[in-house]
Amino acid sequence: MASMYLVASFIAGYALMRLLDRGPVFLAVIFVVFVAACEIAGLWSREIPVVMYAGNVAFGFLLVVGLAIEAVLVRRGLFPHARWAWAAVACMVVAFTIWNLTASGTGLCSPDSLLQGHAVWHVLCAASAYCLYRHYATEIDRDPTPARLGGRV
């Protein structure tokens, strides 16, 4: 779960940092807060319908927060287009669907099969991370002046 918490915390934290026009110290603090919140949520031991585990709720919540903020940033014109963001979302939606359909105890769970739904989940999550990276790379630099970069060029 730690890798999921780290990725979701970065996505939401990075989006929030850019939305509020804050710097990397803000990102570091909010990142630690988000990861800690996920870990605390993960301590809840009761099963939750559809997502099974409270840690998954925290992961999904941070992804939705990050997505909502990215939508605001796209509307503000920080990206020439949002196709990579949409590709990242599509990968995650398909990954989540496959994860749910092939979970233990479901009709599509086949432990003896060479193709495992959980493995497909991981591959699609990696594809989503790549698409998210490409989305971030298309961001238009709003103010590349040395003052904005902390006096360094």
**Burial class, 20, CB count within 10 angstroms (exposed 0-12 / middle 13-18 / buried 19+):** exposed
Chosen domain end from 52, 76, 100: 76
Range of the domain at 86: 79-153
Angle between the 54-75 and 2-19 helix axes, to the nearest 10 degrees?
30
Q: Given the structure tokens 């493995």, which residue do they identify? A: 119
In this prediction, residues 50-62 reach a mean pLDDT of: 78
- What proportions of the chain, in percent to the nearest 5, are helix, strand and coil? 65, 0, 35
pLDDT tens string 80-126: 778 998 999 999 899 888 888 887 666 666 777 777 788 888 899 99
124 and 84 in a common domain? yes
Let me know: does 70 contact 117? Beta carbons within 8 Å: no
pLDDT tens string 17-35: 999 999 999 999 999 999 9
pTM comes to 0.76
Let me know: does 95 contact 45? Beta carbons within 8 Å: no
CA angle 84, 13, 29 (to 5 degrees): 155
3-state secondary structure of 66: helix
pLDDT attached to residue 94: 94
121 and 95 in a common domain? yes
17 and 49 in a common domain? yes
83 and 20 in a common domain? no
